[in-house]
Structure 1
Amino acid sequence: MAIKLVVKSRTGRDVLPDGILLPSNATVDELKARFAELKPRYYASRQRFTLPPRDGQRSGDLLVSGKKLSDYGLEDGSMLFFKDLGAQITYSTVFFWEYFGPLVVYPLFYFLPHLLYPGIKGHTSAERGTVQTLALGYWTFHYVKRLLETFYVHKFSHATMPVFNLFKNCAYYWGFAAFVAYFVNHPLFTSPPLAQAYWALAFSMACQFANFRCHIILANLRPAGTKGYVIPRGFLFDWITCPNYTAEILGWVGFTVATQTVAAAIFTLVGAAQMAQWALGKHARLRKTFDGLEGREKYPRRWIMLPPFF
């Protein structure tokens, strides 16, 4: 038995004037595959289908891959709304380029001061101070770690993102790499006490390993092929919803103390502000999902990101 669905844009325009014909037991993935056959420009990861909004809703429920159309009560003649998500690119590709950039940009200021600080003559990379060398080492370790995690640890809940994010993310990471590197590696850089730098960067390295441990826990939350949210537990997750962000931020706080530069402090604050937004969203989503009603588990009381303040 087959059903024909009406597909409209959010403005009410018919996307498929003749509708789309599918088996009555078809899944959302089959819907996307068939739509891509009829409209080759819109490959599956570019498609977003929602139900018509109910009273009081701004938009209808999202059709999730893996579910059957019948799970949403769709039958012959039912209507769906289609949105083009735009050209897509894989998460791993975006992460590679946004992390690869800082690995290239930052060392340029360390190794090529005669080119990047033309107003100051006679200064070479051989004259770099110990703190500047340690800062380069920490910076390099951090982004190499991020690259390795991208390909060997992280499990992405979505395969792709809009291609515009590649340029936006690269601008952020590459731009801040140049901004921080310019001041930390400046020939007129005033080094803080070595003991301060040693202890601060040792603390930062401990945060890096804590961050890595959090990522391993997150990667192992769900067996391959399963979906849905799971309450993270163990290590710092027993007290904090997003301890991976906590460790990341504190690591950059240590870097800021070690280099004693305003540029590093600004980079840390901007990153912390963005992570705070993500943490709020994740915390709210987990509390909503695990509300303790109808047999569902109740999400435990935890700090969101930075105890005891947040």
Structure 2
Amino acid sequence: MKLEVVSRSGRVITTLDINPDATVGELKKKFQSYNRKYYVARQRFTLPVKPGETRGTVLSDDAKRIADYGVSDGGRVEFKDLGPQIGYSTVFFWEYFGPMVIYPLFFLFPKYLYPHISAQPSAHALVQQAACAYWVLHYAKRIVETFTIHKFGHATMPIANLFRNCAYYWGFAAYVSYFVNHPLYTAPNETVSKAALGLALLMQAGNLRSHIILSNLRAPGEKDYKIPRGFLFNLVTCANYTFEIWGWILYSIAVQSIPAFLFAAVGAGQMTQWAIAKHARLRKTFDGKDGRPKYPRRWIVFPPFL
């Protein structure tokens, strides 16, 4: 059948001759043969906007046929260039590898990174040693999870995200480490620091357990939402974020540094936005109608406040 591909402004790009039983994936491969620049991960097709709609239905990358979307001979689909793409796992690796390496530099080489400070301490305080170990362990855990546990709903993301994410993680790593490992840093109460970091490690264990539960909910590339159950998920929609937020709050309490509290606050703010959006999607998807289960009443991310 003949399928007209148009831009979002309505300009005709090309007309493809494609099998009526072709899937969306096959459509993308066909379009790539028209223009090699637009590889499959860079393409997104939608149906034209219908009256009363604000945007067209996205043709998802699964085994679903184009005809299942109501597209027939002489029909048209809208094409959007998503721009240069990069794999999720690649982005995650670099955004986590940076902090894991940057933070210890200020701990290991104060002579070179604090040249303006004449009074160099002979040894780091216990809290500085423990905080450095915690930081490195956290990001090492993140990298291992990226390649062994996480399953991504999308294979790629815009390459611009790599630079934005790395700027955030790498920048905060240097900012926090600079002050926590500063030669003039005054260590807080050791008992408080050890207790806070000990609890923070438990939060990391809880975060790992949460990621394993989420990973078991779907196969790689699967996008359908499912209701997470078990562990803290019986009380909180985004238990993984709950543990993550508490981990950085406890780290900040341990080191008693304003940059650490700022890092925890910014991270908590972003994770809260993601959690609110996910909670809303789950409640909308599982509305209890037409045989669908009803999403249970739960906290969103940070009981008893949210």
TM-score using structure 2 length: 0.97
- Hey, what's the Cα distance between the residues in 2 that align with 1:62 and 1:89? 21
Structure 2 equivalent of residue 155 of structure 1: 151
SS of the residue corresponding to residue 2 of structure 2 reads strand
Query: Which segments of 5 or more consecutive residues in structure 1 lack a partner in the other structure?
Result: none
Structure 2 equivalent of residue 280 of structure 1: 276
CA contact (8 A) 2:151 2:221 kept: no
- Hey, what's the Cα distance between the residues in 1 that align with 2:199 and 2:128? 17
Pick one of 48, 70, 74 that aligns with 1:73. Answer: 70
SS of the residue corresponding to residue 117 of structure 2 reads coil
Structure 2 equivalent of residue 173 of structure 1: 169
- Hey, what's the Cα distance between the residues in 2 that align with 1:227 and 1:208? 26
Structure 2 equivalent of residue 129 of structure 1: 125
- Hey, what's the Cα distance between the residues in 2 that align with 1:286 and 1:270? 25
Q: Deviations over 1:185-227 (max 9, x none)?
A: 0111111111000100011000000000000000101245755
- Hey, what's the Cα distance between the residues in 1 that align with 2:55 and 2:197? 48
- Hey, what's the Cα distance between the residues in 2 that align with 1:175 and 1:224? 31
Structure 1 equivalent of residue 243 of structure 2: 247
The range that moved more, 4-13 or 245-254, is 4-13
- Hey, what's the Cα distance between the residues in 1 that align with 2:219 and 2:6? 36
SS of the residue corresponding to residue 77 of structure 2 reads strand
- Hey, what's the Cα distance between the residues in 2 that align with 1:200 and 1:235? 22
Structure 2 equivalent of residue 306 of structure 1: 302
CA contact (8 A) 2:103 2:177 kept: yes
Pick one of 43, 46, 50 that aligns with 1:50. Answer: 46
Structure 2 equivalent of residue 10 of structure 1: 8
- Hey, what's the Cα distance between the residues in 2 that align with 1:257 and 1:224? 38
- Hey, what's the Cα distance between the residues in 1 that align with 2:162 and 2:285? 31
SS of the residue corresponding to residue 200 of structure 1 reads helix
Q: Deviations over 1:84-127 (max 9, x none)?
A: 00000000000000000001110111011111111112415x52
- Hey, what's the Cα distance between the residues in 1 that align with 2:283 and 2:35? 39
1:21 positional shift: 1.2
Structure 2 CA distance for partners of 1:246 and 1:232, relative to 1, 3 Å:
same
SS of the residue corresponding to residue 105 of structure 1 reads helix
Pick one of 55, 63, 74 that aligns with 1:59. Answer: 55
1:58 positional shift: 2.4
SS of the residue corresponding to residue 147 of structure 1 reads helix
Q: What amino acid maps onto 1:109 in structure 2?
A: F
- Hey, what's the Cα distance between the residues in 2 that align with 1:263 and 1:226? 38
- Percent identical among aligned pairs is 56
SS of the residue corresponding to residue 3 of structure 2 reads strand
CA contact (8 A) 1:204 1:252 kept: yes
SS of the residue corresponding to residue 12 of structure 2 reads coil
Structure 2 equivalent of residue 82 of structure 1: 79
- Hey, what's the Cα distance between the residues in 2 that align with 1:192 and 1:23? 70
CA contact (8 A) 1:292 1:299 kept: yes
SS of the residue corresponding to residue 23 of structure 1 reads coil
RMSD: 1.1
Pick one of 179, 194, 200 that aligns with 2:190. Answer: 194
- Hey, what's the Cα distance between the residues in 1 that align with 2:222 and 2:159? 27
- Hey, what's the Cα distance between the residues in 2 that align with 1:55 and 1:274? 35
- Hey, what's the Cα distance between the residues in 1 that align with 2:61 and 2:117? 58
CA contact (8 A) 1:51 1:62 kept: yes
1:100 aligns with 2:93: no
SS of the residue corresponding to residue 15 of structure 1 reads strand
The range that moved more, 52-61 or 234-243, is 52-61
- Hey, what's the Cα distance between the residues in 1 that align with 2:233 and 2:223? 20
1:35 aligns with 2:27: no
Q: What amino acid maps onto 1:116 in structure 2?
A: L
Q: Deviations over 1:13-47 (max 9, x none)?
A: 1111xx01111111101101111111110001000
Q: What amino acid maps onto 1:78 in structure 2?
A: G
